[in-house]
Chains A and B, each alone.
Chain A
Amino acid sequence: MNILVLFVIIPLLMLPALWGCRNINQTRAVMATGSVLLLALSVYLTIDFIAQRNAGETAAMLYTASVTWFAPLNICFSVGVDGISVAMLLLSSIIVFTGTFASWRIKPMTKEFFLWYTLLSLGVYGFFISTDLFTMFMFYETALIPMYLLIGVWGSGRKEYSAMKLTLMLMGGSAFLLMGILGIYFGSGATTMNINEIAAMDNIPANLQYIFFPMTFIGFGVLGALFPFHTWSPDGHACAPTSVSMLHAGVLMKLGGYGCFRVAIYLLPQAADELSWIFIILTTISVVYGALSAISQTDLKYINAYSSVSHCGLVLFAILMLNKTACTGAILQMLSHGLMTALFFALIGMIYGRTHTRDIRQLRGLMKIMPFLAVGYVIAGLANLGLPGFSGFIAEMTVFAGAFGIDDPFHRTVTIIACTSIVITAVYILRVVGRILYGEPENEEHKKLSDATWDERFTVICLIVCIAALGIAPMWVSNLINDGVGNILGNLLASH
């Protein structure tokens, strides 16, 4: 059996298992087992993939398999991975795994929560392994719907409003995306839905590309927090429970970047080349505007959500540079942002769980009260502002060096504007750190609070280790994703 199918089968098996759980311990056991299995699977996949590549395997996609599903429309369930998808699968497994521990004590309706959570992760895994446009879209939708319930039921604050807004906006994006996908399918002669086959034919007429590239890019871009379609993100994150925020910002937003790269750029190269400037302007705005907005926020989750707008903006920005280095940087930035933002949301959730407030004006001196969480927060902050030794630095540097490789005034200008985000990021991170962690605790109630429990410590340590590992030894990841990036940009570079 194809190993990739296991990524869908394990969550599928977890669903009835969770359904049958009688108490919280059984639920936890199922979740722990499932997420450990998935993590092990993706680690194995990564190692095996690298081994095959080292052994001289040069096919664009490995572990490919295809089963016809609906012949009249040429829809197949076809799977396959390149280095990029392997990296994304690994990221998803890490976040799903740590997210499980971050919501170890969630109440009420623990079982139902994990059911939706597992369905969400099923969608994510399915999306990353698919090579068929239609199944990819299907899994994409599968990942979006549970979000509505997870936020609407287990969230906090204006949760119904936020859940509705998030779902509607993402569904709006999906509508564009569906049109884009159909456009690609019929534009390429309606013979196949397989991404690699469409790319190999490379026969979509230019005039169709100009119509469908913006649709596809915006469709995925909404999920990647493309300005001005990003406003679901602050509200959605602020109201979502901890592990949902982690999974959403950590993985789901990456679906946007991944989709833009794998579908929009790969299949519509000519239009990408011609129209990229429009989206470069939008993403440059995202990068700087998100960071500047974050400075003025007072809610921890809003700060981090705007920070995500800025960082995910950089992902799309890098993809649109359409050169190998910048696109490698984009993938690194996706991995890095996924891990960092998951860590941030985990820590914010843990702090909120204790203090019942996320307003930075009401928090003070947490370093004295909960040193472990506070130190974790400082490390997350430093990673976020791009300190060498953590993943943020290598990702940003690769993006900037790549973007700087394009020698024309327009690209130079936007790159320099995007670079300023490293200073703005430092401002909002240090502002929060100085405000809530340092100083003397002011609130008497807060002084009685306890530090992290074992499951929380485990979550935080896992994520920090991953961030540092990626930051200290970037070589292997860069090599892993190199082939995929080269392949996707192949059509585009060939046309030059």
Chain B
Amino acid sequence: MEYTILILILPLLSFLLLGLAGKIMPHKVAGTIGTLTLVAVTALSYYAAIEYFAAGRDASGVFAETMPYNFHWLPLGDTLCIDMGILISPISAMMLIVISTVSLMVHIYSLGYMEGERGFQRYYAFLSLFTFSMLGLVVATNIFQMYVFWELVGVSSYLLIGFYYTKPAAIAASKKAFIVTRFADLFFLIGILIYGYYTGTYSFTPQTDVLATAGAVLPTALLLMFIGGAGKSAMFPLHIWLPDAMEGPTPVSALIHAATMVVAGVYLVARMFPLFIGYAPEVLHIIAYVGAFTALYAAIVACVQTDIKRVLAFSTISQIAFMMVALGVCTSADPHEGGLGYMASMFHLFTHAMFKGLLFLGAGSIIHAVHSNEKSHMGGLRKYMPVTHITFLIACLAIAGIPPFSGFFSKDEILVACYNFSTPMGVFMSIVAAMTAFYMFRLYYLIFWGKSHYEEQLALYERGACDHEPHKPHESPARMTIPLIILAAITCVAGFIPFGEFISSNGRAYTIHIDKGVATASIILAAAGIALATIMYMKGESRITAKINQVLRTPIKAAYHRFYMDEVWMFITKKIIFKGISAPIAWFDRHIVDGSLDLLAKTAQKAGALIRPMQSGNVQTYSIWFLAGVLLISAILFFL
């Protein structure tokens, strides 16, 4: 599988080409180069995945990992070394498909969405850089290579969030995203250092005899690594960067902040899963509880947001938390005995990437049409944007967990895994799933149903109450709707993929069977959530809605402000770190450290000034001093 190196090299070349020569290229050429590269990458990724899975299982019944490349990159001492290479395993093959598919869709979509934007070439250069880094991350042969690419995806995300670099909100958001994830990466790095020191390798699979002695510190190392993953995957309380990251262009949100980069944390835990399950099951359960809390928190916040991209952002946080929970509730490496969550998590990662990508691209199409992110500027759009409407609805049904759409199947497996772990966990996650259905359909109705903002404005204009004619919403061009249709098609059929045949916690084939009880319950809950949303929002905000808003005023306000988590972080950074630590240190350095040196210099100067009059050049003065000296010395000699 030597050709897999091209999967990394092509986007890198495309980045260099567009980055260095983009300025002299017309937009069309830059877009074509970027998109064609991705076509090739996608073809190669699919080919690699198919070839890998078609090769079949080895004697022990698992898909053997293959490493077409692995070379020493940077030696760290005599035994440790950072390697760079390509590792194809079931999950990395799956990730290749996910990343290349969504990335290709985003590349095509952006041809329409970003048309005529200033910095179009730069945009495609950054997309290529991101694709390169993300692919490098998933095929990493060792934890340090993963960290290297982890940082690179972080910086591509930074560059793309800050794409509109003249917009203050975008600048602040890009900075915040980078610093928050960097803070989490600090723990990741320390985790890697501990791991490397005690196991003597950075590879994912250390020698078993080494593990026997290193086992004691592994939980610490793995917990620290998880904190790194929690930063990238926006787990509470490190989630604060993700909603703000929506300041980037919408296709970027679809690619990076919904489908690929944000699941890197989940992928990291899945990568280290054999170690987690073997040596640190208690850490896995911590992950489950953090995930469950995050899922609930984000779902509550998503219920009351008014910016459609923020609703989707919180929905993403909540869904990633589902994946984390699924991994966390595993109690065994055997999918039949409590290891089901691993498969469920990866399955949900796959289906979620497709339908969440679709939701974001749909949202982009809507924003493109109405030139606003706010729900108040939407409403009644189904007439004007039929394709966007239908595909968005499919994605909403999928995320709500309605069969036969893909989200139903993967979420069902997650819930089964949760019930296997403990009933409270199962019930808790089922409730969150019902909330998902509610807030997604709230969003759906607010965008596509109810009173049309355009028609209201038009009526005002015709009555002369408004001086400019409102802009009529229109369906997006084919370059944007085709990716929507493709992703919608995948969302319709992806649930029927026999996912367990390819990926399971111990590598052996596992046949997915729907648990009837759990499935029925979750369908009923999802339907209830949708029904509630229908009552409350189908015809605009109904009277009941107003009443509920009135009664729950305070909690809704708190949820709208995301329970003031941003304010807490702002306080920590602005007040404590800037004003409380950095400014005093800077003052201390200038006035105390430097001041004492200046004082030394001043003292020398003063002392010089003090004794200078003695050297007056006046012979009489000299003779007095001379006489005084002689007398003093003779007095001393006399009395001793």
Contacts and interface: CB of A to CB of B under 8 A. Distances in A.
A299 to B, nearest CB: 11
B179 A423 contact: yes
A371 to B, nearest CB: 9
A283 interface: no
A297 interface: yes
A426 B597 contact: no
A440 B166 contact: yes
Contacts of A419: 186, 189-190
Contacts of A423: 179, 182-183, 186
Interface stretch (B74-82, B90-98, B203-211, B426-434): B74-82
Contact of A397 (B82, B178, B585): B82
Nearest to B583: A296
A416 B76 CA distance: 18
Contacts of B152: 387-389
Interface size range on B against A: 35 or more
Interface in B541-596: 577-578, 581-583, 585-586, 589, 593-594
A490 B221 CA distance: 32
Q: Is the interface of B mostly helix, strand, loop or mixed?
A: helix
Given A431-B175, A439-B168, A475-B74, A404 B582 contact: no
B165 A438 contact: yes
A245 interface: no
A51 interface: no
A473 to B, nearest CB: 9
Most buried by B among A235, A289, A296, A368: A296
A29 interface: no
Contacts of A168: 601
A106 interface: no
Given A419-B189, A422-B182, A475 B73 contact: yes
Contact of B74 (A289, A422, A474): A474
A397 B179 contact: no
A382 interface: yes
A439 B171 contact: yes
B18 to A, nearest CB: 14
B527 interface: no
A292 B186 contact: no
B302 interface: no
A394 B82 CA distance: 10
A117 B434 CA distance: 72
A405 B77 contact: yes
B172 interface: yes
Contact of A231 (B172, B577, B581, B589): B589
A324 interface: yes
Interface residues of A, number: 52
A430 B182 CA distance: 12
A310 B171 CA distance: 26
A276 interface: no
B162 interface: yes
Interface string B77-118: 110101000000000000000000000000000000000000
A427 B179 CA distance: 7
Contact of A474 (B73, B165, B585): B73
Interface in A93-127: none
Contacts of B585: 289, 292-293, 296
A400 interface: yes
Nearest to B133: A388
Contacts of A365: 166
B374 interface: no
Nearest to A231: B594
A228 B591 CA distance: 12
A397 to B, nearest CB: 7
B578 A426 contact: no
A292 B589 CA distance: 11
Given A430-B179, A434-B175, A478-B75, A401 B196 contact: yes
B513 interface: no
B72 interface: yes
Nearest to A371: B23
Given A387-B155, A404-B197, A475-B73, A296 B586 contact: yes
A422 B147 CA distance: 14
B36 interface: no
Contact of B578 (A295, A387, A402, A430): A295
Contact of B80 (A368, A401, A426): A401
Interface in A388-432: 388-389, 393-394, 397-398, 400-402, 404-405, 407, 415-416, 419-420, 422-423, 426-427, 430-431
19 contacts: A168-B601, A289-B585, A292-B581, A295-B582, A386-B151, A388-B149, A393-B151, A398-B76, A400-B189, A404-B194, A419-B186, A419-B190, A422-B185, A434-B171, A434-B175, A438-B165, A438-B171, A474-B73, A475-B74
Ordered nearest first, which 9 A-B pairs have the shortest CB separation?
A325-B77, A296-B586, A231-B594, A401-B76, A438-B165, A295-B582, A388-B148, A404-B193, A296-B582
Given A416-B190, A420-B186, 10 more contacts: A231-B589, A296-B582, A325-B77, A385-B182, A394-B74, A415-B193, A422-B182, A427-B179, A438-B162, A475-B72
Interface of B: 72-78, 80, 82, 144, 148-149, 151-152, 155, 158, 162, 165-166, 168, 171-172, 174-175, 178-179, 182-183, 185-186, 189-190, 193-194, 196-197, 577-578, 581-583, 585-586, 589, 593-594, 597, 601
